[in-house]
């Protein structure tokens, strides 16, 4: 039989390192998704400003209307209501998810336009009209309908984020956790 004897001060150091590491894991449980949402928000706005994706052209009538009204001929931007309202925000996770502590629920973060946010109005053909929920017309642009071709922004940005940014965020989080073990 083999016996191991651990010095009391060494045992305290190990316990403290474990405690610091566990606390950082729980901190990263919120910080990592929040950091990802902030970065995804910035990427979405950047993709609108840079016109990163190619789309089917506007109809002649809509193009003419945008020129007449003095709006830029770029996609996903009329008066800037959408880009100005892309936010990062907390969203409750499904009740079936479990965090490491065993609590149901948890919190996730996301980037996008929360429901219930309205534009500045006045965007119909006559330049008037009531405000519209931004998420509504964002959905129409993203997926299209019988009159408007799909001009996806959110889905390709999510893929772009997943490939190029998410691994870096994960590594930063892991290094923060690792740094607590000393």
pLDDT band at 56 (very low <50, low <70, confident <90, very high): confident
**pTM to 2 decimal places:** 0.81
163's tokens: 């490939």
**What 3-state DSSP class applies to 45?**
helix
pLDDT band at 104 (very low <50, low <70, confident <90, very high): low
Among residues 173, 158, 171, the alpha carbon closest in space to that of 39 is found at: 158
């Amino acid at each position: 039989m083999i016996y191991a004897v651990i010095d009391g001060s060494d045992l305290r150091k190990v316990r403290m390192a474990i405690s610091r590491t566990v606390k950082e894991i729980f901190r990263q449980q919120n910080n990592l998704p929040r950091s990802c949402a902030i970065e995804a928000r910035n990427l979405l706005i950047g993709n609108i400003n840079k016109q990163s994706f190619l789309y089917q052209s506007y109809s002649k009538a809509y193009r003419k209307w945008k020129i007449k009204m003095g709006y830029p001929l770029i996609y996903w931007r009329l008066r800037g209501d959408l880009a100005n309202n892309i936010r990062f925000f907390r969203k409750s996770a499904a009740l079936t998810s479990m965090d490491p502590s065993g609590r149901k629920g948890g919190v996730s973060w996301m980037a996008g336009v929360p429901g219930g946010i309205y534009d500045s109005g006045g965007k119909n053909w006559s330049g008037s009209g009531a405000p519209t929920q931004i998420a509504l017309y964002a959905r129409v642009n993203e997926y299209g309908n019988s009159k408007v071709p799909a001009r996806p922004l959110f889905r390709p940005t999510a893929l772009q984020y997943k490939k190029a940014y998410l691994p870096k965020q994960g590594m930063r989080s892991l290094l923060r956790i690792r740094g607590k073990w000393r």
